[in-house]
Amino acid sequence: MAASETAEQREFRAYCRAWLEENRPPPTAMPLPQAAYEVMTEDHRSYLVDWQNKCYEAQLIATDVSKEYGGHGHNGFQQIASTEVRRANVPYFINWIGLGMAAPTLLIHGTEAQRKTYLPPIFSGEDIWCQGFSEPGAGSDLAGLQTSAVKDGDNWIVNGSKVWTSLGHFARWMLLLARTDKSDKYNGITYFIGPMEHEGVTVQPIHKMTGESGFNEVFLEDVVVPDHMRIDAVGTGWKVAMSTLTSERGAAQGVGAVATSESPFAAIESLIQLAKTKKRNGRLIWDDPVWRDKLMKLYERTEASTQNFRRARVDALNGGAMRIPLQGKLTGSELGQELHQVALSILGQEASLYIGDDNSEENGRWALGYMNTYTGTISGGSSEIQRNILGERVLGLPKTK
Ligand SMILES: Cc1cc2nc3c(=O)[nH]c(=O)nc-3n(C[C@H](O)[C@H](O)[C@H](O)COP(=O)(O)OP(=O)(O)OC[C@H]3O[C@@H](n4cnc5c(N)ncnc54)[C@H](O)[C@@H]3O)c2cc1C
């Protein structure tokens, strides 16, 4: 609890804690995937949409958004709600792209009509959104995208393809970047609300090494997009995309907790439990000073990462809007990977037993989790790209060639 909280904020925090405690959903018959990136089945989708809607109705989502856009009209309560949702370690919100990227983008760049139409079903989870930025030849070099949009009366005709589109298989709308001018790399991009249910859209799942398929290829063939679904002016797509990416990396004022997987504290606690049950050379790993040192260093880094986010509340420690979220994304995703690596070392040869194997530890969660931690160090900008941005834009170092 922050010392500077008002009486109303303290009361709201107590309300969030009590509500989450009382309304924690019972486990699903089939365990949920480890991360929101991997949701594939209709059962999981409807369970998670119900959960998100319940949290929305309880004012934990869109807490500070004005009522005319479907929000709850508070001021200074969203961060409290989001913190308490994360702390409670309840299921993630399935519409994490809608909440974490689409809603902030529409609030900043959308028209009145767009905000009134698209925001309420984002908050309730009724309309799932996906992000159509990456293309086969445009990932880190996003401005290299080639999907085209050509004006045809009051419509745009879109052709091209997107890749790694998380939740594309459930989505009604896409955050769509398309090229409207081939002669200008950055000013030739325009931002649209892409209709996933229109004719000409084909979604094909991509299977990962884990066997999961939470992301897709999306093919767009003569897809008609009305001009009123354009976000901001023609040619300003790059600027709007940077605003979306800032929200994706956690810098913008969120509209709902968008934790997409297990909290880091839950993961380190589980790792310590594992060390308390596994033996090496006849003694518990937890009792071995070398292993214990390794585990405590991971614990300290988890705590440091959490404390680092708290600095965001103090302007003087902030170092600009992007610094803390960029650092958080970089260090948090790499820490998650190291944590799973240590778990695999503790398991030794048992680490090769995967989900579905009756003899595997915790149904193979560590082996699966280790592979899935690569999501964090690639998606939303790879670790190398985060380092480049931190170096160039935060520390002011010379640009990479
Ligand atoms: C699980 C998952 C979900 C995703 N979901 C989505 C989604 O929903 N929507 C979407 O649009 N995209 C999504 N992505 C795509 C993601 O944003 C891209 O994978 C990412 O931006 C990297 O692009 P790339 O895969 O084309 O790799 P590349 O850009 O080809 O990079 C390959 C390697 O080269 C390195 N590299 C490239 N340029 C530089 C440089 N200038 N300096 C140093 N190193 C460099 C990279 O760090 C990387 O290691 C997802 C990715 C994953 C893994």
Q: What is the pLDDT of residues 155-209, one digit of tens each?
A: 999 999 999 999 999 999 999 999 999 999 999 999 999 999 999 999 999 999 8
Question: What pLDDT was estimated at residue 54?
Answer: 97
In a domain, 376, yes or no: yes
- Final residue of a domain: which of 248, 279, 295? 248
The CATH number of the domain holding residue 138 is 2.40.110.10
Question: What pLDDT was estimated at residue 355?
Answer: 76
Domain span holding position 99: 7-127
The CATH number of the domain holding residue 339 is 1.20.140.10
Q: What is the pTM of this model?
A: 0.93
Q: Which atom of ligand 1 is nearest to the CA of 166?
A: 8
Does the C-beta of 37 come closer than 6 Å to ligand 1? Answer: yes
Q: Tell me which of 142-156, 209-223, 345-359 is least confident.
A: 345-359
Orientation of helix 323-347 relative to helix 264-275, angle to 10°:
20
For residue 28, with 0-12 CB atoms within 10 Å meaning exposed, 13-18 middle and 19 or more buried, which class applies? middle
Same domain assignment for residues 114 and 193: no
Mean pLDDT of the chain: 91
Does the C-beta of 388 come closer than 6 Å to ligand 1? Answer: yes
Top-confidence residue, 186 or 86 = 186
Per DSSP bridges, beta strands 173-179 and 129-132 are parallel
DSSP assignment, residue 272? H
Same domain assignment for residues 379 and 276: yes
Question: What pLDDT was estimated at residue 193?
Answer: 98
**In angstroms, what is the span from residue 384 Cα to ligand 1's centroid?**
10
Band the pLDDT of 141: cuts 50, 70, 90: very high
Which range has the top average pLDDT, 86-100, 147-161, 331-345, 365-379?
147-161
Does the C-beta of 392 come closer than 6 Å to ligand 1? Answer: no
CA distance linking residue 246 with residue 10, whole number of Å: 29
CA distance linking residue 202 with residue 5, whole number of Å: 49
For residue 286, with 0-12 CB atoms within 10 Å meaning exposed, 13-18 middle and 19 or more buried, which class applies? middle
The CATH number of the domain holding residue 74 is 1.10.540.10
Band the pLDDT of 382: cuts 50, 70, 90: very high
Same domain assignment for residues 284 and 198: no
The two structure tokens encoding residue 215? 């992301």
- Final residue of a domain: which of 90, 112, 127? 127
Examine the pLDDT at 6 and tell me if it is beyond 90.
yes
In a domain, 283, yes or no: yes
Question: What pLDDT was estimated at residue 2?
Answer: 55
**In angstroms, what is the span from residue 137 Cα to ligand 1's centroid?**
10
Same domain assignment for residues 15 and 85: yes
What total of structural domains would you count in the chain? 3
282 in helix, strand or coil?
coil
In a domain, 332, yes or no: yes
